[in-house]
Chains A and B, each alone.
Chain A
Amino acid sequence: MLQVTTSLAELCSLLVDETYGELPSRIFSILLKKGRSTASQLKEYTAMPSRQLRHGLAVLQQHNLLYYHLDKPNGPAFYEANVEHAYNLVRVGKILEMVESTFGAPAKDVMQNLLLSGQTRVADLMAAYQEKIDRANNAKALDEELGITSLEDTDGVNGDSHPAKKSDLIIKSSAHLNSVICRLIEAELIDLCHAKTYETYDDIYETVEKEITATHFPGGVKGGKQKADYQKKLAEGLRQVRGESKSLKRKLEQNGLASKRRKIFQDLDLNGGVKQEEDSDPVLDPRQVIRVNYEKCSVELRSRRLVQFASDVFGDITSYVYGVLIKKITKDMPRCRLDPLVDVQGEDDEVNEPLAVSTDEILDSLKTSIDLSIGLGKPDWSKISAAATARVVEHAPKKKLHIEGATAVGDASSDEGEDSSDEEEVDGDYKPAMTNGVNGVNGMNGTKVPPKERKMDRRTQLRQHLFLLSESPQSFVRHSGPDEWTIDFGPVLTALRESELDAVIEETCGTQGLRLVHILRANGKLDEKALPNLVLMRKSDIQQKMLEMQRAGFVHVQEVPREPKADVKKSFFLWFCDVAMSKDQVLDTSYRAMVHCMQVLGTLREQEKDVLSTSKRTDVRGREQELMRKEYFERYSHFLKSERMLFHQLMKADELIAALRDY
C-alpha cells in the first residue's frame, strides 16, 4: 500500500486539477485530508452545493479515482480517494509511449481515448469511433466531389472535430477496433470493471473474510490445521475477486489460439495481416466496461527500465537480449510486487518460482537483424575459463539444483582450485567434463563448436551475452539450470534502486559524497576517526561532506557515550547509512519537487494568461507564428520551452519514484 505523505497528497490533487479541473480536485483533496467520508459529510467539508458535489464525484468515479463502500445495501456510500490511480496520471504519457512501441499507433489511440474518458463501455467506444469513421468517409466523399485536398492537420487523437481523411484514420473499422482491444486485453493492459473494482483492498479483504467465516467456519477458527485451511480459503477468495477482471482475457484465450495465429501473420505485410486478424477475434460484448490496468502497465514500464539499466551497464546488444528474456518472463506477471498472501500461497509454488526460459526460446524470439557478435570483447579464448562459465551453472542459487547436483558442486569447486593455477590446456580438458556432467543435455559446447576453432554460432553468442548478464554483480540473470535462464527481480531491483539513489547522491553531494556513502554501506557503522584512513580525503573535507549529507538525509549519526556521564567530548560518533531512510527522504523530496514544478507551471500560466488566451483562439491555432505579434510570439515560445522543461523534470522525478517505490 502506498504511504500517503503530505507532499504526495498535494501532488495528487494537483495532478487531478491539471487533468480534470478544479472541481474534482477540490473534492479529491478534501477526501485525502479527511479520509473516508459520505456524500453528506463531503458536502459539509467542501461547502459545495450537492449538485456540484455530485458532478465532481461522478467525474472522479468515472476515472477510477474513487473507491466507495457500502456497509448496508441501502446505506450511504463511503467514498475514499484512490491515490495510486491519481499518481498514475503523471505516468500516462509513458504508458502511451510504451503501448505505441509495443502494439503500434492504433492501440495507442485506443488507450489514449480510454485514458481520457475513464472506464468506458465497449459500445460507447465503438460508437465514438464509428462516428469518426463515418465523418471521415463523408469528408472524403466531399473532398472527392470538390477536388480539394485538405491542408489541415488531422487531430484525430483527441477526438477533436477535425475532419480526417480516411487514409489518416488510425482505426479503420469497428472490426479493427475490436481486434485492437482484444490484443490489449490479452496483454492485460486493459481489464474489465466489475462491482469490486471500486472497493479498496481492505474492504474486499474484509468482505471475503466475513464470507468465509460465515460459510466455512461458523464456530470460529481453531487449531493450526484450521488456520492454514482458513488462510488458503482466504487467499482463494481474494484471488477469485481479482480474477474477475481478467475473465475477459480468459474468454479470449479459450476462444481459440488467436495469439498463435497472430504470430504467423506478424511477419507478413502489415495491411494484409490485419484483415485476417480482425476476422479471427471474437466480437466483444458491448455492455462490458473496460479500463486501463495500471498494475500491468507498471510491469511493462519496469521491464523497460531494467533493459535501460542493463544497457547502461553492458551496452545495447546485451540489453536487447535481456529485454527479450524479461519479456518472456514477465508475460504472465500481473504486478510488480506480489501480494504475500494472495500470490505466494497460490497454485502450488508456481507463482512463487520465477519462470525459467531456455536459450532456444530466447533465440527464437531474437530479431534476425540483431548481430550478436557486437557488444562483446573478443579476447584470446585461452584466457576465458570454461570452468568459470560452467561454474555459473552449478552455483545457481536454486535449492532444487543444489540438492540434485550436490556431487557436481563438489567437483566444480575442486576443479576451480586446479584451474586457478592457470594452465593453458585446461580449457580443452574441461569441455568434455562439462558435457558429461551438467551440460550433457545439449552438449553443444563439446560437440558442435570446439572452442579452439574460435567460431561461434548464434546460439553460443547468445549464451555469451546471457553469461555476461549472470556474472555481473547486479545479478541481472540467474543461470538456473543447464541452458535455462531466469530473473530474480529482488536483487536486480535492489541494484537498480541503489544506482538511482547513487545518482541522486552524486548530483547533490558530488563524487566524494558518493564514495563516503559507499564506504558506510560496505562497512556498516563507522567511527568518525576511522573514516579518513579509508577515504583518502582530508579530515576537514570529510567532516564538511558528512555534515552536508546528514542534512540532506543520506547519512545518519549515532552518538555512543563512553562513560555513564555521557561526556560529548569522549563519546564515539558513529556514522551510518540507512538506505530505507534515505529512500524515504529522496521520495519526499521528489514529491515536493514535482509539486513545485506544477506550481511553477501554474504561476507561469497565470503570468502569460493574455498570450495563452490568444494562442487558444481557433483562428490563431496552428499558425501562431504568422498571426501573433512578435513580442507575443516570443513570450509564447518561451512559455512553451519552460513548460517542456517542467514536464521533463516531472517525468524524471517520476522515473526515480517509480524505481524506488513501485518496481
Chain B
Amino acid sequence: MADTQSEGNKAKLQIFKDTLYDTVQQHGSETRLFSQRDLLDLDVIPEDAKLGKLGLLLQVVQALCDDKLFIGTNSPTSGLAWKWRSREEAKKYTSLPDEETMLVYGIIDEAGSDGIWNRTIKLKLNMHDSVVKNCIKFLEQKGYIATMKNVEHPNKKMYIKANLRPSDRATGGPWFTEGELDIAFIEELQAVVFEYIKTKSCYRVPDGGSGVTKAPKKGVIKGTAPETNGEAARGVKRSAADISNDDTPALAAATVKEHSSAPRTGPLKPAFLPFPAGYKCYPTVREVAQFVNGSGLAKNISLGEPDIEKIINVLVWDGQIEPIKVNKRRGYRVTRPHKLPATDYATRLQQRQAGIGLDLPVSGIKPGGSGLGSSPCLRCPVLDICEEGGPIGPSNCVYFAEWLGLEDRATPGGPRIRPEQKK
C-alpha cells in the first residue's frame, strides 16, 4: 500500500518535475534567476492535500537540484533563487564519478568565461592538493574543461569549461593574440586609421604641390587676378630688401623668408593644407570604425567603436591628430597638415624596406619645438655629478667630444679623453 503510494508519488513528482522544468525553460534564459514566488506563479504546482503547495514545490525543486537541472543560488539582493541548466550539461554532471569531481567541475562552471585559477579552486573547496589535481586531470581527459591564459595574470594556471570561449577581459580584447599584445597589428591599424583621417581631414594640393603660386585663383579680387599672382611671385623675392624699411615685416621677416624658400625647394612643398574653419566633415569615431570594418583589415576580429576609439586616442596622445568640435560633431583632424610628407603609407613602407628615412616615423610627423635633444647634457646619465673639477666634468666629457667630432683627435696639452668612460 505504502509502496504503491510512494510509487505513485514518485511518478507524480516526475511529472511535476518535467512540467516545471519545461515551463521554466520557456520563461527565460539560463541566466535568469527564479525566486520561489516566480516558481509558484507559474501555476504548475497544484495545491497538495498532504504537503501543501509549498511542500510540494520544495520536493520538486529538491529533486531537480539533485538531478543538476536546477542550480540554487543565494544572493543578498534577491534571496534564494534558482537557475535552470540544460539537460546535456546536467548529464555531464551526473556522469561524473564522484562528489569531489562534481564540485570541482561545478566551481569551474560557475566561473564562466573568465576562467578560474587552480589555487582558487583549492582554496574555495578546501580539498587536498592531490584530490583536486586528480579531478582536474580526469575532467581534462574527458574534455569537459581546458586550460586557458589570462593576459592580466600570465603566469597563473587557469581553467575554463571546454565549450566556452575566454572572455575579452581574460584575452585582453582584440589587441591580444595568444595572450601577447599584438604590437605589429596595432601599429598597422594605427597607420591605417591615420591615413584615413589624413585623407578626410585635410586638403590635398591637386598637383602634389608642384607650384603653390599656381594655386587656383579663387580668392583673387576680380579683374586683377594675373597681376596679383605675378606680384606674389615678385614680392617674395623683393621682400628681403624691402624688410629694411618696412613697418610690418618684423614678424613677417622670418616667415616670409621661409615662405620664399619653401615653395622653391622640393621636399618642403606642402602637399596638404588645412581646411577652413567650420569644416563639417572631419571624420568621427563612428566613421573610422565603419571604414576599418568595411575594409576587411581585421578579418577574424570584430572591432567595435570603443576599440577604434582606443586607437584614435593613442594617435591623439601621440600628437598626430587632434579632436575638433564643429557644431557639436566631434571629429578628428591631423595636426600640422602642411608639414606632412606627400608620400602615402604604402610608399613609406616600401621606402623603409629599402632603407630610406628609417629615422622618421612611418606615418605622421615628429612633434615640433625648439629641440634641445641633440645636446649631450639632456640625456646624460651622469648629469647630476658632472661639474668642473670633479671626476667627470665638461672639460673631459666624452659625450661632448663625440658630439663635436673630436674623439679621435689627440689633443696636446689639454686633458686626455678617456674612452673607457664611454658607456
A binds B: yes
Write out the residue numbers on chain A whose beta carbons fall within 8 Å of the beta carbon of B175.
536
Q: Which residues between 92 and 124 of chain A lie within 8 Å of chain B, taking CB atoms?
A: 98, 101-102, 104-105
Stretch at the interface among A563-571, A576-584, A600-608: A600-608
* B377 & A599 in contact (Cβ 8 Å cutoff): no
- Measured between beta carbons, the chain B residues less than 8 angstroms from A662 are none
B243 at the interface (CB under 8 A from A): yes
User: Provided the pairs A314-B338, A534-B310 are in contact, do residues A373 and B386 lie with their beta carbons within 8 angstroms?
Assistant: no
Return A22 CB to nearest CB of chain B, in Å.
15
Whether A373 touches B220, Cβ cut-off 8 Å, given contacts A304-B251, A592-B383, is yes
Looking at the complex, which one of B217, B278, B335, B403 makes contact with A385 (CB distance below 8 Å)? Answer: B278
Stretch at the interface among A62-70, A208-216, A483-491, A506-514: A506-514
B2 at the interface (CB under 8 A from A): no
What chain A residues lie within 8 Å of B186 (beta carbons)? 536
On whether the beta carbons of A507 and B203 are closer than 8 Å, the reply is no
Which B residues are in CB contact (< 8 Å) with A641?
404-405
B251's closest neighbor in chain A, by CB?
A323
A203 within 8 A of B: no
B411 contacts partner chain A, Cβ-Cβ < 8 Å: yes
The answer on a CB contact under 8 Å between B370 and A368 is no
Contacts A518-B319, A603-B395 given; does A596 touch B274 at CB 8 Å = no
Return the CB mask of B212-225 against A: 1 if under 8 Å, else 0. Answer: 11011111111000
The answer to whether B231 has its CB under 8 Å from any CB of chain A is yes
Quick check: B254 and A375 within 8 Å, CB to CB?
no
Residues of A within 8 Å of B403, CB to CB, are 645
Q: Which residue from chain A places its CB closest to the CB of B175 in the assembled complex? A: A536
- Minimum Cβ distance to chain B for residue A591 (Å): 10
CB-defined contacts of B222 to chain A, threshold 8 Å: 455
Distance (whole angstroms) from the CB of A637 to the closest CB of chain B: 12
Known: A369-B234, A385-B326, A388-B326. A300 touches B368 (CB 8 A): no
Q: In whole angstroms, what is the CA distance A367 to B253 when docked?
A: 12
Out of B219, B280, B314, B371, name the residue touching A536 (CB < 8 Å).
B314
Given A304-B251, A314-B338, A649-B375, verify A470-B244 contact (CB < 8 Å).
no
Q: A467 to chain B: which residues have CB within 8 Å?
A: 276-278
| B258 close to A (CB within 8 Å) | yes
Q: Tell yes or no: B245 within 8 A of A by CB.
A: yes
* Contact string against B for A residues 622-654, beta-carbon threshold 8 Å, 1 for contact and 0 otherwise: 000000000000000010011001100100110
The count of chain A contact residues (Cβ–Cβ below 8 Å) is: 116
Instruction: Indicate if the CB atoms of B216 and A378 lie closer than 8 Å.
Output: yes
Q: Say whether, besides A383-B280, A471-B277, A502 and B375 are in contact (CB < 8 Å).
A: no
Contact, CB under 8 Å: B393 / A417: no
B247 pairs with A375, CB closer than 8 A? no
Q: Is B318 an interface residue (CB 8 A)?
A: yes
Cβ–Cβ contact B400 & A596, under 8 A:
yes
Question: Are B277 and A367 neighbours in the complex by a CB distance under 8 Å?
Answer: no
- Give A517 to B375 CA distance when docked, in angstroms: 22
Bound complex: CA A39 to CA B362 (Å):
63
Residues of A within 8 A of B235 (CB): 367-370
Whether the Cβ atoms of B254 and A511 lie closer than 8 Å is no
Nearest CB of B to A579, in Å: 15
- Contacts A370-B232, A388-B278; is A416 near B367 (CB within 8 Å)? no
Chain A at the B interface: SS class:
helix
**Bound-state Cα–Cα, A372 to B231, Å:** 12
Is A464 at the interface (CB under 8 A from chain B)? yes
Which residues of chain B have C-beta atoms less than 8 A from A597's C-beta? 375, 377, 394
A379-B279, A600-B395 given; A312·B383 CB < 8 A: no
CA distance A286 to B311 in the complex (A): 68
| Neighbouring A residues of B210 by C-beta, 8 Å | none
User: Which residues in window 353-398 of B have CB below 8 A to A?
Assistant: 361, 366-375, 377-379, 383, 386, 388, 393-395, 397
Minimal beta-carbon separation of B202 from chain A (angstroms)? 6
Which of A383, A458, A461, A600 has the most C-beta atoms of chain B within 10 angstroms of its own C-beta? A600
Are the CB atoms of A538 and B373 closer together than 8 Å? no
- A319: chain B residues within 8 A (beta carbon): 255
Query: Inside 8 A of A416's CB, which chain B residues have their CB?
Result: 327-328
Q: Which of A439-488 contact B (CB under 8 A)?
A: 454-458, 460-461, 464, 467-468, 470-471, 473
> With the chains together, A455 CA to B219 CA distance in Å?
6
- Contact partner of A384 among B228, B253, B259, B276, CB < 8 A? B276
Within 8 Å CB of B247, what residues of A? Answer: 262-263, 266, 365
Lowest 10 CB-CB distances: which A-B pairs, in order?
A369-B235, A503-B369, A377-B203, A507-B373, A323-B251, A373-B219, A467-B277, A388-B278, A102-B250, A593-B377
21 A–B pairs (Cβ distance < 8 Å), ordered by A: A101-B253, A307-B254, A316-B262, A323-B250, A367-B256, A373-B220, A377-B272, A383-B280, A388-B327, A456-B218, A457-B219, A468-B277, A471-B277, A503-B371, A506-B366, A506-B367, A514-B317, A536-B175, A538-B181, A597-B375, A642-B406
Beyond A266-B246, A518-B317, 4 additional pairs, beta carbon < 8 A: A308-B254, A369-B234, A503-B367, A652-B370
